[in-house]
Amino acid sequence: MLSSLPSIVGFVRPDIDWHAVAPELTLLGVGAVVTLLDIVLLERGRAYTSALAGIGLLVALIPIVTLAAAGDTREMFGGAFVVDDFALILKAMFIVVAYIVVLLSTNYIAEGDYWENEYYGLLLASVMGMVLMASARDLVTIFVALELLSIPAYLMAAWRKADPKSNEAGLKYYLMGVFASAIMLYGMSLLFGLAGDTRLSEIAATVAEEGSNPVVILGIIFVIVGFAFKVSGFPFHTWAPDTYEGAPTPVTAFLAVASKAAGFVALMQLVHAGFPDAQDIYQPLLWILAVGSMTAGNLIALRQENIVRLMAYSGVSQAGFMLAPLAVAGDIGGEALSAVITYVLIYAAMNLGAFAVIIAVARRTASGEIRSYAGLFKYAPGMTILMTIFLFSLAGIPPLGGWFAKFAVFRAVVEADTGWGYSLAAIAAVNSVIALFYYAKVARMMWFEDVPEEADTTSLSVPPSLVAALGLTAAATLLFGIYPAVITHFTDGTLIALTP
């Protein structure tokens, strides 16, 4: 009976390359095991969930390595799901980032007496969405991936149930996210309406034909604006500071790095594979978004008193830098992708590191005020040095990793050799100076100020999982800066051709 079902509904199962979807399936499996563990072992399972999630993530790296070793481009579902170098490097990044987020979460979630199994289950689901996003070359796949990564994140942002701020964080993130999805979906429907196909390669052909059709223009703008919410680009960044501040800090780190990166992955695919011939439309739009994000993010960051809010606005400004190469993507092609991926990878290392320090210090001070960092050097010199490394790396000071990220962006926009490109370079140069001011403000607090009198100045105890996270991120930040070939080996524009 069951075997005749396909012939009745006329459904033919498409060929599935199990190897190509192995990373997603592994994550799905681990997520299921984590959930089952909770049901079977109840309270006794709590101790194992974070370890299980962490190991599961590392296991998911294995098929990525084997796929990279095989080296061929794999397509499925008529080109809607593609595994190429572009997808693999980003999948690997998402999984490593998620692993570090698990390290950051372990003590935070356990000690805070929050629900653990559900947390890690949702985290794995969200990562699965991101990993899927890296392979999506089709509007529907992109949308499904986006929702899969967002919906768990809405819940995680509100994980500190008892705290109204966390509730506000989750709700705000949810409302803004849904709003953005709606706009994006509308744009997608316009594009689909004209192209009659959801695959990006078909959309590209339609856009090339009907570039001046207002429906196409509107569709492109709506889709880009939808993702501008996701990457917290100005003026669509307003959710970020409140959400970042209210959410549990490990979740903030996850949103600030992985979720933002996922937005960029989608933007890169859309710009590069979806409407490569519409540069007259998307370039000025992204130029404005880039300049607005870096400038507004920086200027507002200057006035922040709370470290997480500062990181939120710094994230807006960093998003501006990441948008910049896309604003000249039509002129320089694949080099723009290469620059954005380079930036995203380095940004992931240094930003996660900064959040790791914030979590470690907050264990002592229980405060997010920048004031609470006063005199940190006196009683936690190691933490101070690490935070200094991360902050100045974010500011782009050589030889720390951030310099090469900034360099890649400058290189891309100058390479365009257009007025738009050079002006963007000059604005970015000025902004990198402004950014230094607020990063240095935190550094100044830690190094130059005296310890507040009431503060506890016994040396800081840092749990092993945080030490591991700090070690990994600091090593990566330094290595990326001193020997950037580690990064460029994977992000070289000639290697990373994105398959439409």
Partner 1 sequence: MGEFLNDWGLSIPTFLPIIGAAVMLLIPKDREQLHKLIALATTVAVAVFGLLLLIQFVDNDNYGALNFVVDKGWIDVIDSRYIMGVDGISLPLMLLTMLIVPLCVIYSWNHFPEPHNPKAFLMLLLILETGMIGTFAAQDLILFFVFFEVVLLPMYFMIGVWGGENRRYAAIKFFLFTLFGSALMLVSFLALYFLADASTFDMRLLPEAAAGIAKSSQVWVFGGMFLGFGIKVPMFPFHTWLPDAHTEAPTVGSVILAAVLLKLGTYGFVRIAIPILPEAAAEWAPFIGLLAVIGIIYGALGCLAQRDLKRLVAFSSVAHMGFVMLGISTLTDFGINAAVFGMVAHGLITGMLFFLAGSVKERYHTLDMSRLGGLLVQAPRMGWILGFCAMASLGLPGLAGFWGEFPAILASYNPAEVLAEETFRSYMVIAALGTVLAAGYLLWMLQKTAFGNPREEFANDPHIRDASISEYMAWAPLLILILVLGVYPHLLFGATDPAVVNSLNDCLESVTSGACFDAAAGK
- Which residues of the shown chain bind partner 1 in the complex (CB under 8 A)? 338, 381, 388, 392, 397-399, 403-404, 407, 410-411, 414-415, 417, 422, 425-426, 429-430, 432-433, 436-437, 440, 444, 447-448, 483-485, 488, 491-493
Coil, strand, or helix at residue 451? Answer: coil
Token reading at 133? 């996003």
- Cβ proximity to partner 1: between 355 and 404 the closer is 404
d(CA 74, CA 24): 15
CB of 330 to partner 1, least distance (A): 17
CB of 297 to partner 1, least distance (A): 17
What is the crossing angle of helices 139-157 and 260-269, to 10°?
A: 170
Token reading at 89? 């490097």
- Cβ proximity to partner 1: between 51 and 429 the closer is 429
CB of 385 to partner 1, least distance (A): 8
CB of 443 to partner 1, least distance (A): 8
**Amino acid letter, 176:** M
- Cβ proximity to partner 1: between 173 and 392 the closer is 392
**Nearest by Cα to 125 from 204, 5, 33:** 33
Residue 135 burial (CB count, 10 A): 29
Residue 113 burial (CB count, 10 A): 8
CB of 276 to partner 1, least distance (A): 22
**Amino acid letter, 26:** T
CB of 441 to partner 1, least distance (A): 8
- Cβ proximity to partner 1: between 119 and 410 the closer is 410
- Cβ proximity to partner 1: between 46 and 411 the closer is 411
- Contact criterion met (CB below 8 Å) for 249 and 358: yes
d(CA 21, CA 324): 32
Token reading at 197? 């196909």
d(CA 230, CA 333): 23
- Cβ proximity to partner 1: between 214 and 419 the closer is 419
- Cβ proximity to partner 1: between 128 and 337 the closer is 337
CB of 28 to partner 1, least distance (A): 36
d(CA 21, CA 81): 9
- Cβ proximity to partner 1: between 122 and 395 the closer is 395
CB of 382 to partner 1, least distance (A): 10
- Contact criterion met (CB below 8 Å) for 297 and 354: no
Residue 28: Cβ-neighbour burial (10 angstroms; 0-12, 13-18, 19+):
middle
- Contact criterion met (CB below 8 Å) for 137 and 200: yes
**Nearest by Cα to 491 from 411, 386, 429, 427:** 411
CB of 293 to partner 1, least distance (A): 18
- Cβ proximity to partner 1: between 3 and 494 the closer is 494
